Amino acid sequence: MLVFRLGSQVYIPSRHRDGTLGDASMPVLTQTTLLLVLSNIFMTFAWYAHLRNLGHRPWIIAALASWGIALFEYLLQVPANRIGHSQLTLG
């Protein structure tokens, strides 16, 4: 068991069902929901911003810009799905 001491405070990390250690300060449902909401905001921007802001550019520029933004969306979505899958049970 890992134990961290910060001054007079003793911190013992919680262990998740998949065996990884985690911080219990933010509930899993909140973590997953927040990451998925941020992911959705990025994806909405990726799909609609090129219609408004890149209408005068060649299509390849719009596609590359959207894919670049979508990369950040996936950086939020994949961890959210992994956290949700390993920690939450759906009925």
Q: pLDDT per residue over 12-70, tens digit each?
A: 555 556 555 555 567 888 888 898 998 888 888 777 776 777 778 888 887 888 788 88
d(CA 68, CA 87): 30
d(CA 12, CA 62): 48
Q: What's the pTM?
A: 0.56
Q: pLDDT per residue over 60-88, tens digit each?
A: 887 888 788 888 888 888 888 888 888 77
Backbone angle region of 12, left / alpha / beta, with phi > 0 → left and psi within -120 to 50 → alpha = beta
pLDDT band at 1 (very low <50, low <70, confident <90, very high): very low
